[in-house]
Amino acid sequence: LQRGLPADVLPIVGGDFNINAGEERDNGYIAKGLAKDWAVSQLIGCGTCQGSYYYHTKREWSFFDMLLFPPAMASAAGFNGWQVDPASIRLVHQGPYQVNRWGSPARFDEGKHAEGVSDHWPLYAQIHTRNPEAAP
């Protein structure tokens, strides 16, 4: 996880990993790969989340977007004085322009529709200092 990083670094990774549900079923990129070294947002929280991307043709939700934390951040021990609150992890899709009439992400589509921002929903998580004196 921290190969080559100074001990006081807090590595958090977030973004669009483009792993669809079929690829995950077939290869386990998240469950067998990422989850070995990271606490993966949708595996530690986001309990009611179906996914951040919806592929209408296959009627299938996928977690293209993820947040990755050092595993200790999701435990009582914390990591370098910081903890992630698994209960806070959620999709950000409350804006009226983010959801289409089918309840999935409303893509921008060059402004052809009244709604439309992105075809993915971002994830949100709160991180807290475990011990105020321990965190920089």
Q: What single-letter DSSP state applies at residue 118?
A: -
Q: Which two tokens stand for residue 88?
A: 């806070």
Q: What is the residue-level pLDDT of the chain in tens, covering all 136 positions?
A: 567 788 788 899 999 999 999 999 999 999 999 999 999 999 999 998 999 998 988 999 999 999 999 999 999 889 888 999 999 999 988 888 888 888 888 888 777 776 777 888 899 999 999 665 544 5
Q: Beta partners for 84?
A: 127
Tell the residue number behind the tokens 């077939």, with chain if given.
26
pLDDT, residue 6, reads: 85
The pair of structure tokens assigned to 37 is 């070294």
| Cross-strand partners of 62 | 53
**pLDDT of res. 84:** 96
Instruction: Please report the pLDDT score of residue 101 as a whole number.
Output: 83
